[in-house]
Structure 1
Amino acid sequence: MEEGGRKKGFGISSIYSHILPSYASILCLGILAVGARAQCGKKPVVFNFGDSNSDTGGYSAGHGVTFGPPFGRAFFHEQNGRFSDGRLMIDFFCESLNASYLSPYLESLGSNFANGANFAIGGAATLPRFKPFSLDLQVLQFLRFRERSLLLSSEGYANQVREDFKNALYIIDIGQNDLSAAFTYLSYEQVIQNITTFVTEIKSAVWDIYKSGGKNFWIHNTGPLGCLPRELATTSAQNPTTDYDSYGCLVPLNNAAKEFNGQLRALCEELQSEMTDATIVYIDVYSAKYDLIANAANYGFEKPLMVCCGYGGPPYNFNPDFLCGNSRSTACDPGQRYVSWDGVHYTEAANSILAANILSSNFSTPQINLNFFCNV
């Protein structure tokens, strides 16, 4: 996703410039959908790594920006730092575990890290390394967090993780930005060739966490990139003859996502064979999201490829110059059920369904339910 934007006075457009590709070089309605909460003897500790799909305020804190209305209107009704109108999948996962929402690692005020922390941040990718806030840097932040938490806990400080970190759940959801950015300057064949380097970075991250004591991993694959309205709007404008599938999604981008996912699944199998005392669950987010788009009407959604909060009208209601939050953009009526919030991220209504389907374990390999990690 993009870097750049004005150096000061960030508006919503420059916020999006950090999470859209340009650099070359995881329910009132939701609770019902997700179902009964896990009966955890004690609240599990959760650490999340990723990008804007699971960022609960890291970008906002790290860049000193505010997400004003209509962001958050479906649930929080206040500034919350999420790229959505409400809760994300990671929020529903925490609800399912009867745990508090994860505080962003970068949020200095009002944070409670007793049940874990969220290192995900909008715009993050696996590469390039050490580029705020790439996956390897998030892991370095975690390692420092672990060291400091154990020290402060021993000194009696509250709101710190007190348990052995080996029993924590480590969620990783990253890769979408790597693919999206790669398509801005590489051919399809070159993108495919680069996927191994992205997956290798995830491998390094898992090994680093494992060596620090982590044993429980919940690893998401990437969603159908070619079904994002942003990709559809920009690609169709640049190349109207590109290949679409029967649901209107871009075939080359989805094929690249599938290749990434195939390599990631193979990696999870490899890691499980080598980390015999660990539990590694591969989550097929791609299939869950594609199912939602393909069967949108059955789920009660309108126009699955059209943006709720955007500008331009049908077919996608997306214009990169007038993004959600811009004075010229408008949001759909709160009563309407859209899949896409802003062209990149999903609405709370969509996230609640996705979380429910993922929590069913039908998209998990092996088929381990999330509440398994209540008792490890």
Structure 2
Amino acid sequence: MVAVLGILVTWGVMSAGATHPHKLPCTFPAIYNFGDSNSDTGGGSAAFYPAAPPTGETFFHWVTGRAGDGRLIIDFIAEQLGLPYLSPYLNSLGTNFRHGANFAMGGTTIRNLNESMSVNGVPPFHTEIQVVQFRQFKQRSARLFKLAKRHGDESEIRRLPRPQDFSKALYTFDAGQNDLSAAFRTMTNRQFVAQIPAIMDELAKRISILYEEGARAFWIHNTGPIGCLAVTLRNLPKPAPPGYLDQHGCIKSQNDMAIEFNKQLKKKVDQLRKKLPLAAFTYVDMFSAKLKIITNAIKLGFLDKASICCGYHENNNHVWCGNDGVINGTKIHAGSCRDPSSYVSWDGVHYTEAANRWIADQIIKGSFSDTLLPLSQACHGPTPMTT
């Protein structure tokens, strides 16, 4: 397989300078999000074990269930659209679903993995379950909204989505990284490549179901450069074997798999555009956006790309963020750094709020979108590139 990393990075740069005909801004009354911990605003914490400090310390100043010190990219997307932060579907308290819901769950994969391949030993709420939850949410909320209207319960009405808003909402997807992580543990790269078409078919089924439910605007993130995760970079073999690292100092084989995965995802999105002609699809090149901040970390005012704010990860000894452990007979508490804003990586796997903000700023303006349209125009179809 020939890596196309240079093409992907060039695409992001070209898109930033491209122009497109004027289109009116879209009015998105709600967001419905599906994915993994990169966009989980508390679903995993509600479903399994509650999250613990120091997560959430930067912006929320309390534990929200997000994998980071503050806001995620999905939070900045909501801000850009003038909408509240998304309530996790599984949260039983403090929820307001008028402007959407978040079905994302830490550990989520696109396909349904068996327990031996699950992420972190917990069978995740894969995307099929998330879409089932959405359908139930849509049906039950419509019934409750009707009852609230009948009884004049204004407080209940304000908490529930308006039935007509489902077709006007933005539907966001950010999943795939855990499919890659599970594959690296259980199969060869060649075996995984052979399975990617089936994974894409599964994702297409989920999107088609949402389309049948009235969804019309889709914002789909590809997967990031998993071979550049800080927790990996801090534990590279020394010296690294010839060909083990790519030109950015990341694990080449893992990034090659992410690139192939994204190539097939882009192809599937193009197919869905033809199959579902009433929908607008935006394919967002998160790989290039994240690679840009990782490889230019110091130039952008961050510490080195291998620096981790929270947790202990040295010589293949790991104590994850907020946990206690024993290293070489010494008890340690893996707390956070003094200034998370100077780090790209929060815990070795997830990004800090500062990094998420930088990435969000890039993708929101359309710099890494195949449609060349900003988030505010994501209800429109692709625009031919002109430079």
Q: Does 1:117 align with 2:101?
A: yes
Q: Tell me how far 1:331 sits from its aligned partner.
A: 2.0
**Superposed CA offset, 1:42-90 (max 9, x none):** 662100000000000000001141322x211110110110000110000
- TM-score, normalised by the number of residues in structure 1: 0.83
* Counterpart-to-counterpart distance in 2, 1:199 and 1:239: 33
* Counterpart-to-counterpart distance in 1, 2:268 and 2:317: 35
Matches within 5 A, 1:280-359: 280-312=281-313, 317=314, 321-327=318-324, 328=332, 329-334=334-339, 337-359=342-364
Gapped regions of structure 2 (runs ≥ 5) = 1-23, 115-122, 149-155, 325-331, 382-387
Contact 1:236 1:242 in 2 (8 A): no
Contact 1:129 1:135 in 2 (8 A): no
* Counterpart-to-counterpart distance in 2, 1:336 and 1:110: 28
* Counterpart-to-counterpart distance in 2, 1:276 and 1:107: 35
Q: Does 1:367 align with 2:372?
A: yes
Gapped regions of structure 1 (runs ≥ 5) = 1-38
Give the length in aligned residue pairs. Answer: 333
Give the alignment's Cα RMSD to 1 decimal. Answer: 2.3
* Counterpart-to-counterpart distance in 1, 2:344 and 2:28: 31
Contact 1:358 1:364 in 2 (8 A): yes
* Counterpart-to-counterpart distance in 2, 1:152 and 1:78: 31
Matches within 5 A, 1:163-182: 163-164=163-164, 165-182=166-183
Contact 2:171 2:218 in 1 (8 A): yes
Contact 1:221 1:261 in 2 (8 A): yes
* Counterpart-to-counterpart distance in 1, 2:74 and 2:282: 15
**Superposed CA offset, 1:204-230 (max 9, x none):** 111110011111100000000100123
* Counterpart-to-counterpart distance in 2, 1:48 and 1:74: 23
Larger radius of gyration: 2
| 2:74 counterpart (90, 100, 125) | 90
Relative distance call for 1:251 and 1:278 in structure 2 (3 A) is same
Contact 1:129 1:137 in 2 (8 A): no
* Counterpart-to-counterpart distance in 2, 1:357 and 1:373: 15
Which residue of the partner structure matches residue 11 of structure 1? none
Which residue of the partner structure matches residue 30 of structure 1? none
Which residue of the partner structure matches residue 151 of structure 2? none
* Counterpart-to-counterpart distance in 2, 1:210 and 1:235: 44
**Superposed CA offset, 1:8-31 (max 9, x none):** xxxxxxxxxxxxxxxxxxxxxxxx
* Counterpart-to-counterpart distance in 1, 2:75 and 2:207: 22
* Counterpart-to-counterpart distance in 2, 1:360 and 1:240: 40
Q: Does 1:104 align with 2:88?
A: yes
Which residue of the partner structure matches residue 36 of structure 1? none
- TM-score, normalised by the number of residues in structure 2: 0.81
| 1:146 counterpart (131, 138, 157) | 138
Q: Does 1:66 align with 2:51?
A: yes
